[in-house]
Amino acid sequence: MLAQTAVLLIGLIIVVVTAVLIGPNMFYHELVESGHADEALGLVHLEDAFRSVSLTALAIGGLPALYIAGMLTFYLYRTIGRSLASFSTAAGEVAAGNYDVRVTSTKLGPEFDALASSFNEMAAKLASVDTIRRQMLADLAHEMRTPLASLKGHLEGVEDGVVALDEHTTGILNAQITRLERLAR
């Protein structure tokens, strides 16, 4: 907001300086061209009057314009600030893993509407990716349980002396290991 205020003030200063420095010279030039250059004493008075009237007109028009521009800048600053705060909060939620959060259209123009739409699309895609990831991990865990249970059961059987460690048992163990290796790829 400080930057907008500085721009407004600089603009006002440029207008005032231009009116004070250039206006009287242009006025004098017009008087010379109209044939009133010989009235030197009257010209000084006319230039002073012109300068005074110009500054008064600038004050009457410039101060309300500056006030209105400042209020408009403040309003836009607050409105855009609130919208960006909602985006920031929503982004924090998504970063924390809450992919169901959405932002509403800000009605600040097509750029903000496109940003809101893109953000919501991104959050939806992240939710979808997270769902797929969870399902894949659950499926992988389920697929690993069977060969692991078979390996564990056969090894316990060998340890307890219930199952002989023969060619048939090593074939089963190798088959389960191959199954696990396939899952790991």
Question: What is the three-class DSSP state of 31?
Answer: helix
Which tens digit of pLDDT belongs to each residue from 36-88?
666 655 666 777 777 778 778 877 877 787 788 888 888 888 888 888 888 89
Q: What is the pLDDT of residue 183?
A: 83
Q: What is the DSSP letter of 163?
A: S
Q: pLDDT tens for residues 139-169? A: 988 888 888 998 999 999 989 989 898 999 8
Q: Which residue has the higher pLDDT, 162 or 109?
A: 162
Domain boundaries, the chain: 2-95, 144-184
| pLDDT interval class at 123 (50, 70, 90) | very high
Which pTM was predicted? Answer: 0.56
Output the DSSP codes for 85-121. Answer: HHHHHHHHHHHTT-TT------SS-HHHHHHHHHHHH
